[in-house]
Amino acid sequence: MIDKILEIYKQNEPLTIGIEEEYQLCNPETGDLVNIVDKLMDAADPDLRKQFSYELLLSVLEVRTGINRTVDETVSAIGEMRRKSAAIASQFDIVLGLSGAHPFADWKKQKFVDTEDYQWVKNQLQYLARRNITFALHVHIGIDGPNKAVRVNNTLRRWIAPLMAISANSPFFDGVRTGLMSTRTVQFGTFPRTGIPPHLDGLEEYQTLVDKYIESGSITKARQIWWKVRPHLTFGTVEFRMFDVHSSLRRTGAFIALAQALVGQIIDDFKCGKLEQPVNDTYLLDGYWKARRFGLDCDIICPFDGAVRSMRQEVEKMLNFVKQFAEKNGSAVWLEEIEDILENGNGADDMLSLAEELGDDLVALQKRLISS
């Protein structure tokens, strides 16, 4: 198995980008979810069908881009996939919703995808799986070695909280304002193996962990480890899994650019002989909670140096960390959107303001969201 993983990573071009997005399938008149993904799958032509994928529920469509080298190419591919997906959906009078959680859908009315993998999730997680009406953006960054991927993953743990804070986009769920800025990550976080990954010494330790999970019946395959960042052994990438999906292509591109720049800068640091720096796991977990609860409007304890800073200051530190790589890579322009988020708020802030304008009418809110 390890030899196969080594070969997968060896074939990769470093810092290439692949994207997965999860879309709500909505009734345009009511805004509610519709269990209809099977019909979209059947209607797609063979080439498009290869880019469509099932998620846990029949009211969700997952789409995948190909492999791209630049953020510009990737955002263009996402825009094209959204247009094609919307066109297929419109054949069935369905529109796409792009936010981290549906604001009012009844989880009891959602139906599971009838595949072996998702039936396993249903049977394992029961009530928790039934409530998982959430929608994410996953960003894959190619890396040319599995041990390097594990080392990069270790270092990325330090930035999970600020990444979640800038991308939080789900303050409503189950018909209520939850008080959370990213309800998606809290709801999905009720699943096992979904939080901050442990520090791992390398591929061998990671593979041992996977093997023990399989032996004990906790999982049936490695991809059922759902950490917020993880080495993806099948794709030969590091996968960022903390982002709520956004309708704004500009913001989506900013998150992608930041993910690529973080990986690129970390690898450059390794080449210069800079070693992984130890971090405080207790502080990591505290920041992880605060990002989900408060978004940008909180103080956290830096897991690296123990200093108490505002979340916005931590985001600025992250931007400063990647600045050199982003400028060299030609992606710095995309990071200007992160500065806008720091000044004007994240997606959850925008949604809360819109809800206030609409008198907290969540049906009206959802109709506005799916029409944007």
Confidence of residue 149 (pLDDT cuts 50, 70, 90): very high
| Contacts (Cβ under 8 Å, ≥6 apart) of 258 | 163, 318, 319, 322, 334, 335, 338
Tell whether the model's pLDDT for residue 361 goes beyond 80: yes
Q: What is the pLDDT, as a whole number, of residue 313?
A: 98
Average pLDDT over residues 72-82: 98
Average pLDDT over residues 256-270: 98
Q: What is the pLDDT, as a whole number, of residue 181?
A: 99
**What mean pLDDT value characterizes the chain?**
96
C-alpha–C-alpha distance, residues 47 and 305, integer Å:
49
Tell whether the model's pLDDT for residue 12 goes beyond 90: no
Tell whether the model's pLDDT for residue 322 goes beyond 80: yes
Q: What is the pLDDT of residues 157-177, one digit of tens each?
A: 999 999 999 999 999 999 999
Confidence of residue 186 (pLDDT cuts 50, 70, 90): very high
Asked whether the beta carbons of 290 and 274 are under 8 A apart, the reply is: no
Q: What is the pLDDT, as a whole number, of residue 274?
A: 84
Q: What is the pLDDT, as a whole number, of residue 277?
A: 82
**All structural domains of the chain with their residue ranges:** 2-371
Confidence of residue 347 (pLDDT cuts 50, 70, 90): very high
CA distances from 186 to 46, 145, 191 (A): 36, 32, 9
* pTM of the model as a whole: 0.97
Q: State whether CATH 3.30.590.20 applies to domain 2-371.
A: yes
Confidence of residue 80 (pLDDT cuts 50, 70, 90): very high
Tell whether the model's pLDDT for residue 275 goes beyond 80: no
Q: What is the pLDDT of residues 208-255, one digit of tens each?
A: 999 999 999 999 999 999 999 999 989 999 999 999 999 999 999 999
Average pLDDT over residues 283-292: 98
Q: Where are the alpha helices (DSSP H) in 244-310?
A: 249-271, 281-294
C-alpha–C-alpha distance, residues 222 and 213, integer Å:
9
Tell whether the model's pLDDT for residue 3 goes beyond 80: no
Q: What is the pLDDT, as a whole number, of residue 211?
A: 96
Tell whether the model's pLDDT for residue 10 goes beyond 90: no
> Which of 74-106 are b and which e, b meaning 16 or more Cβ less than 10 Å from the residue's Cβ?
bbebbeebbebbeebbeeeebbbbbbbbbbbbe
C-alpha–C-alpha distance, residues 232 and 241, integer Å:
11
C-alpha–C-alpha distance, residues 361 and 355, integer Å:
7
Confidence of residue 90 (pLDDT cuts 50, 70, 90): very high
Q: What is the pLDDT, as a whole number, of residue 372?
A: 76
C-alpha–C-alpha distance, residues 23 and 64, integer Å:
11
Asked whether the beta carbons of 25 and 37 are under 8 A apart, the reply is: yes
Q: What is the pLDDT, as a whole number, of residue 230?
A: 98
Average pLDDT over residues 348-362: 98
Q: What is the pLDDT, as a whole number, of residue 295?
A: 99
Confidence of residue 70 (pLDDT cuts 50, 70, 90): very high
* Percent of the chain residues topping a pLDDT of 90: 94
List the one residue out of 226, 203, 199 whose CA is nearest residue 145.
Answer: 203
Average pLDDT over residues 198-208: 95
- Residues linked to residue 299 through DSSP beta bridges, in sequence order: 310
